[in-house]
């Protein structure tokens, strides 16, 4: 947490211990900084106050570890590191990118799996098909027969957010009778680059479809630009005798995807507006564009990308860490396109169930917390 007036006034004199008496969402290091910031803050204060009333809703998850991962992390009684240490998952496999004690370095695709027993992770296909739309984490865990003490939702929020985005814009009736494939352009991947195995869950969420995901962003390492990864099975569990070990290999890296793959990922380095023509030169346009934790208001590079998305007229779904970030993004999109959002800001039921440790607001922040569409 930092002083809300940082950069607006003189150098901060100490920690931000003085919270706004009306909204309670921001804090200041001194009375003088609070006064100097009021001309800016008064425009957002009432809106932030309304968002603060929904704090309990943001923290509402069905898991046995919910309080530990939400309130205790927000109040610094627990940390992400301590959470994973207790479960033997700290800096292990795909989990190593979930805390800040190590640098993000993606040298190659991670195939180490869940590091959990088979009973606690989706290492195999579902026992039954989806018979109704999944609307909550509880729905998903009941369908996949997982216990509510399993931490897998901390990684599965990536594919589940894709699933929810497709439902949110009315593409949920996409079936093999209509189309046999789903093409996704996924913008700005970061820690997902070390967790690509979780995207295999898309084959369970969209049965009967071939899923093609182009992951495009400046954080894709240069040496991985153009790499294609075919997910031919689910990420494995830690059980040596589990049948998930006997299924086909999880990936096939190379210039062409494996024909048996249900999910194909291709990595592209650069900004979407610079790479779009290359991506679509030899393929069809996407069915949907998805940009997780986009930060549209924070990065000027989004301007030409938003203009491109408007031009190609493809549904685009964005997420961000808090409602305020989405509100600022919506203002930017309206300024650029002259049009309001096609789908309003709403809470993502499949947001990551662990609070972000270093938030700029007292409002809890979660990865993929809110979504909206243009």
Q: Where do the DSSP E strands lie in 311-351?
A: 316-320, 343-347
Residue 173, pLDDT score = 59
Per-residue pLDDT tens over the stretch 52-75: 999 999 999 999 999 999 999 988
Residue 258, pLDDT score = 40
Averaged pLDDT for residues 285-308: 96
Q: Exposure pattern of 241-252 as b/e (b: 16+ CB <10 Å)?
A: ebebeeeeebbb
Per-residue pLDDT tens over the stretch 70-125: 999 988 899 999 999 999 999 998 998 898 886 566 666 656 789 999 999 999 99
Query: pTM to 2 decimals?
Result: 0.91
Per-residue pLDDT tens over the stretch 158-179: 999 999 999 998 876 555 445 7
> Order of strands across the sheet with 228-231?
228-231, 263-269, 210-217, 181-187, 288-291, 316-320, 370-373, 343-347
Per-residue pLDDT tens over the stretch 199-249: 999 999 999 899 999 999 999 999 999 999 999 889 999 988 898 877 644
Task: Reply yes or no on whether the pLDDT at 254 is more than 60.
Answer: no
Task: Reply yes or no on whether the pLDDT at 126 is more than 50.
Answer: yes
Identify whether the C-beta of residue 308 lies closer than 8 Å to the C-beta of residue 203: no
Three-state SS string over 143-181 comes to HCCCCCCCCCHHHHHHHHHHHHHHHHCCCCCCCCCCCCE
β-bridge partners, 316: 289
Give the CA distances from residue 261 to residues 38, 161, 234, in Å, rounded to whole numbers and listed in that order: 56, 21, 11
Q: Which two tokens stand for residue 240?
A: 């040596």
Per-residue pLDDT tens over the stretch 309-350: 999 999 999 999 999 999 999 999 999 999 999 999 999 999
Give CA–CA dist 287/264, Å, rounded: 15
Q: Rounding to the nearest 10 degrees, give the CA dihedral for residues 158, 164, 165, 169.
A: 170
The secondary element (H helix, E strand) that includes residue 19 is strand 18-19
Tokens 């062409």, residue located: 256
CATH 3.40.50 spans which residues of the chain?
60-239+259-373
Instruction: Give me the CATH topology for the region 60-239+259-373.
Output: Rossmann fold (3.40.50)
Residue 350, pLDDT score = 98
In the chain, pLDDT over 90 holds for what percent of residues? Answer: 72
Give the CA distances from residue 353 to residues 95, 134, 190, 220, in Å, rounded to whole numbers and listed in that order: 14, 17, 18, 26
Neighbours of 79 (CB within 10 A): 15
Residue 10, pLDDT score = 81
Residue 154, pLDDT score = 98
Averaged pLDDT for residues 284-291: 94
């Amino acid at each position: 947490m930092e002083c809300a007036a940082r950069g607006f006034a003189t150098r901060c004199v100490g920690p931000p211990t003085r919270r706004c008496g009306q909204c309670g969402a921001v804090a200041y290091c001194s009375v003088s900084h609070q006064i100097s910031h009021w001309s800016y803050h008064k425009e957002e204060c009432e809106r932030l106050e309304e968002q603060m009333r929904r704090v309990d809703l943001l923290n509402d998850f069905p898991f046995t570890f919910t309080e530990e991962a939400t309130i205790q992390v927000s109040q610094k009684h627990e940390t992400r590191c301590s959470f994973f240490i207790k479960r033997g998952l700290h800096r292990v496999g795909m989990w190593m990118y979930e805390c800040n004690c190590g640098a993000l370095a993606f040298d190659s695709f991670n195939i180490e799996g869940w590091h959990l027993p088979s009973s606690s992770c989706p290492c195999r296909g579902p026992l039954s098909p989806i018979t109704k739309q999944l609307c909550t984490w509880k729905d998903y865990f009941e369908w996949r027969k997982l216990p509510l003490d399993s931490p897998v939702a901390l990684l599965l929020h990536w594919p589940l957010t894709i699933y929810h985005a497709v439902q949110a814009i009315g593409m949920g009736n996409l079936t093999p009778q209509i189309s046999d494939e789903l093409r996704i352009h996924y913008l700005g991947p970061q820690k997902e680059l070390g967790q690509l195995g979780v995207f295999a869950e898309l084959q369970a969420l969209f049965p009967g479809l071939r899923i093609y995901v182009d992951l495009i962003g400046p954080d894709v390492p240069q040496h991985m630009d153009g790499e294609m990864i075919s997910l031919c099975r689910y990420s494995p569990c830690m059980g040596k005798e589990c049948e998930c070990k006997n299924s086909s290999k999880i990936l096939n890296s190379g210039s062409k995807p494996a024909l048996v793959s249900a999910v194909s990922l291709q990595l592209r380095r650069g900004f979407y507006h610079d790479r779009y023509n290359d991506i679509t030169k030899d393929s069809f346009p996407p069915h949907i564009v998805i940009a997780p934790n986009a930060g549209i208001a924070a990065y000027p590079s989004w301007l030409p990308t938003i203009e491109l998305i408007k031009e190609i007229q493809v549904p685009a779904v964005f997420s961000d860490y808090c409602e305020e970030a989405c509100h600022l993004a919506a203002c930017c999109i309206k300024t650029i396109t002259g049009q309001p959002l096609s789908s309003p800001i709403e809470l993502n039921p499949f947001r990551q169930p662990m609070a972000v440790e270093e938030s700029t607001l007292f409002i809890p922040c979660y990865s993929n917390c809110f979504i909206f569409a243009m």
